[in-house]
Amino acid sequence: MSSPLLQVEDLRVTFDIPRPGALPWQAPQQLRAVNGVSFALEAGQTLGIVGESGCGKSTLARALIRMLPARGRVLWQGETDLLDLSARRMLAYRSEIQMIFQDPLAALNPRLTVGEIIAEPLRTHRPELGAKARREKVRAMMERVGLLANQVNRYPHEFSGGQCQRIGIARALIVEPKLLICDEPVSALDVSIQAQVINLLDELRRELGLTIIFIAHDLSVVKHISDQVMVLYLGRVMEQAPAPVLFADPQHPYTQALLSAVPIPDPAAERAKVVIPLEGDLPSPMNPPSGCVFRSRCPRAAPRCAAEVPEPGAGAHRVACHFPGPVSRAEIA
């Protein structure tokens, strides 16, 4: 049996935050942005990662590509731990793992033309290519992502948000990566443009054999593109399952609350569903609740939830909850 393309084990990202009014020799506070995340991703699959703002989704993505220091293991093709590599050795893997960012315009250099932006990774990772070969690859990739090749000499500010995101996708794919990490790539776009970008990514995944990590706030956004879905809350995995299983039978109250916030086009089904309100704001990651980090907003929190940290366990459907199962109307009344 072949190893997963990417296997993450007990990944942790911690930031040191100075205490207000602290003296220089006093220890800083620790903010655990990602706290013990583990998962495996097979080649050709799409993993959707969802959760509210501040749950550690983007931090997790940046840790995977070594933009942030992290502890744990990130095994590439079952052999290489990316976190153990030096910066020089990591360069060889940069072309195999590419990333698309949330703000399409801010991610592009305003001083470069679109052609120069897309060709830039080729100069780093494919130095053997001549100028003519680079131009041909750039034009072909622009057309593949829905841009006109005659726009190659324009600048980013001349394009719409959706077009800028297509430029970012073209830049990421120009070096033929195996893994594409999409950090909320549609959250800044109109709804109609969101659907176009998601459909484009799904087409490219099938055509190029890509493996994708797709990060979003909204479960409905990842529903049609993901094979697996992982739900994060305050840096911890609450639930992970194959997408059809998670959407049909969510077990964690947090997952159920996120799903209940998604409107259903059928009026009868919309009236019949159990809406689980998320009361209050997300707790501060500087001072998270003891035990289960979700207990302060959970409709079925019990004394055990404050005393013990639930672990997601193993298997195809992992749930980090002491009392999993559908939440009833009586529990939220």
Cα–Cα distance list, 185 to 105, 121, 201 (Å): 11, 20, 10
Pairwise CA distance, residues 217 & 103, whole Å: 15
- How long a stretch of residues is the chain? 333
pLDDT of residue 191: 82
If phi > 0 it is left, if psi is from -120 to 50 it is alpha, else beta; for residue 72 that is left
Is 272 or 116 the better-scoring residue by pLDDT? 116
Rounded to the nearest 5°, which phi and psi values hold at 147?
-105, 160
Residue 118's pLDDT is 96
Q: Where are the alpha helices (DSSP H) in 174-318?
A: 191-208, 219-222, 243-248, 253-260, 267-272, 303-307
Output the CA–CA distances (angstroms, integers) from residue 246 to 39, 135, 190, in the order listed. Answer: 16, 44, 27
- Cα distance between the two ends of the chain: 49
Q: Strand pairing of 318-319 and 228-233? A: unpaired
Judge whether residue 181 has pLDDT over 90.
yes
Alpha helix (H) residue ranges in 265-324: 267-272, 303-307
Domain ranges of the chain: 6-19+27-96+177-332, 112-173
225 touches 48 (CB < 8 A): yes
**163 has pLDDT over 60:** yes
Task: Give the pLDDT score at 165.
Answer: 93
* 323 vs 333, residue with greater confidence: 323
Q: What does DSSP assign to residue 158? A: G
Q: Higher pLDDT residue, 188 or 114?
A: 114
The CATH architecture of the domain made up of 6-19+27-96+177-332 is 3-Layer(aba) Sandwich (3.40)
CA-to-CA distance for 212 and 219, rounded, in angstroms? 16
62-66: average pLDDT: 94
More confident residue, 1 or 96: 96
Query: How far apart, in Å, are the Cα atoms of 145 and each of 156, 199, 215?
Result: 16, 11, 20
Give the pairing of strands 236-242 and 318-319.
Answer: antiparallel
Res 149 pLDDT > 80: yes
Helix (H) or strand (E) segment spanning residue 238: strand 236-242
Mean pLDDT of 28-56: 93
Q: What does the alpha-carbon distance between residue 300 and residue 329 come to, in Å, rounded to a whole number? A: 11
66 by Cβ neighbours in 10 Å (0-12 / 13-18 / 19+) ranks as middle
Residue 1: pLDDT above 70? no
- The residues, ordered by sequence, that sit 6+ positions from 312 with a Cβ below 8 Å of its Cβ are 38, 237, 238, 239, 240, 318, 319, 320
Mean pLDDT for the stretch of residues 273-289:
86
pLDDT at 8: 97
> Looking at per-residue confidence, does 64 or 105 come out higher?
64
Of the candidates 55, 15, 8, the one whose C-alpha atom is nearest the C-alpha of residue 36 is: 8
Chain segment 213-269, per-residue pLDDT in tens: 999 987 878 888 899 999 999 999 999 999 999 999 999 999 999 998 887 777 787
Give the β-pairing of 179-183 and 97-100.
parallel
User: How far is CA 93 from each of CA 83, 127, 250, rounded to the nearest angstrom?
Assistant: 12, 15, 36
Per-residue model confidence as pLDDT tens digits over 183-226: 999 887 888 888 899 999 999 999 999 999 999 987 878 888 89
